[in-house]
């Protein structure tokens, strides 16, 4: 079972606050294309796509690419920016054997309850040599994550509930994958800290749902206080882990 259920309230909050602007997407496009050379007819799987904002970006960037979006949450599928979005999960992907050229997994690997089973299923659908691109926060690599600055309790939640890079590597190694790259990617998450504070929705962030109500309230106060004087855009740093 995923760490949170992603009901209608979660999906609405995600749709309202978690879609990245073009500036942030550009940084990820640059990082992705260091490991992926999009070709006409390429089939790209967006696994655990949420509201499918990444699927939409991929179709915009690479119109000749066939993007297959898969998401287990009905509430997320209802709010998807593209159609269709297939019902499925990392252990049950509704596509044929050896039919996918690349797999994208964005901020969802911590919701996968059985990583070895997921690795086996991804191995089944992925063509030999195709990359698995995992965008995530990882334990021990949280210094550039805004949530961890204003809510230090999320560091414990991250360490306790999210798989480490090594855990993922070990799980995928059993299915024949090796690590092709690991790099931090800096993104503009909001035009300002004030914008982030104003639009904050707890339901949109797994780490904020994993801490206590008191800890959340105290972090909100810290964020709002900092936002009154902060200048410039809000930069977050997540990691891109690539396996082949």
**What confidence score (pLDDT) does residue 118 get?**
98
- The count of domains in the chain is 1
**What confidence score (pLDDT) does residue 1 get?**
55
The answer to whether position 128 is within a domain reads yes
What's the domain range around 181? 8-139+161-188+238-243
The answer to whether position 208 is within a domain reads no
Written as one string, the DSSP assignment of 145-160 is -HHHHH-THHHHHHHH
Mean pLDDT of the chain: 95
CB 164 within 8 A of CB 18: no
Q: Which of 3-12, 38-47, 53-62, 174-183 has the lowest mean pLDDT?
A: 3-12
- Is the pLDDT assigned to residue 2 strictly greater than 70? no
Q: What is the pLDDT of residues 67-92, one digit of tens each?
A: 999 999 999 999 999 999 999 999 99
The side-by-side arrangement of strands in the sheet containing 43-47 is 66-70, 43-47, 102-106, 132-136, 234-243, 179-190
pTM of structure: 0.95
The answer to whether position 211 is within a domain reads no
Rounded CA-CA distance 165/168 in Å is 5
The answer to whether position 198 is within a domain reads no
Q: What is the CATH number of the domain that holds 51?
A: 3.40.50.150
Rounded CA-CA distance 62/222 in Å is 41
Rounded CA-CA distance 5/114 in Å is 16
The answer to whether position 41 is within a domain reads yes
Q: Quick one: tokens of 226?
A: 């900092």
Nearest-10 Cα torsion for 89, 29, 7, 205: 120
The answer to whether position 155 is within a domain reads no
């Amino acid at each position: 079972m995923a760490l949170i259920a992603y009901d209608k309230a979660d999906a609405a909050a995600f749709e309202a606050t978690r879609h990245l602007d073009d500036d942030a997407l550009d940084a990820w496009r640059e990082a992705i294309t260091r490991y992926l050379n999009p070709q006409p007819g390429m089939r790209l799987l967006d696994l655990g796509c949420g509201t499918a904002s990444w699927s939409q970006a991929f179709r915009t960037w690479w119109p000749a690419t066939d993007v297959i979006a898969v998401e287990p949450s009905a509430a997320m599928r209802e709010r998807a920016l593209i159609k269709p979005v297939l019902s499925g999960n990392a252990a049950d992907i509704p596509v044929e054997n050896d039919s996918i050229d690349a797999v994208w997994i964005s901020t969802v690997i911590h919701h996968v309850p059985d990583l070895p089973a997921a690795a086996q299923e991804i191995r089944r659908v992925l063509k030999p040599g195709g990359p698995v691109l995992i965008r995530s926060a990882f334990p021990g690599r949280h210094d550039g994550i805004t949530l961890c600055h204003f809510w230090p309790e999320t560091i414990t939640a991250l360490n306790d509930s999210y798989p480490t890079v090594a855990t993922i590597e070990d799980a995928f190694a059993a299915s024949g994958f090796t690590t092709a790259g690991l790099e931090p990617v800096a993104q503009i998450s909001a035009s300002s800290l004030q914008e982030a504070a104003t639009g904050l929705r707890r339901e949109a962030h797994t780490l904020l749902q994993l801490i206590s109500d008191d800890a959340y309230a105290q972090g909100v106060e810290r964020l709002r206080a900092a936002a009154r004087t902060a200048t410039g855009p809000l930069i977050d740093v997540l990691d891109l882990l690539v396996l082949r």
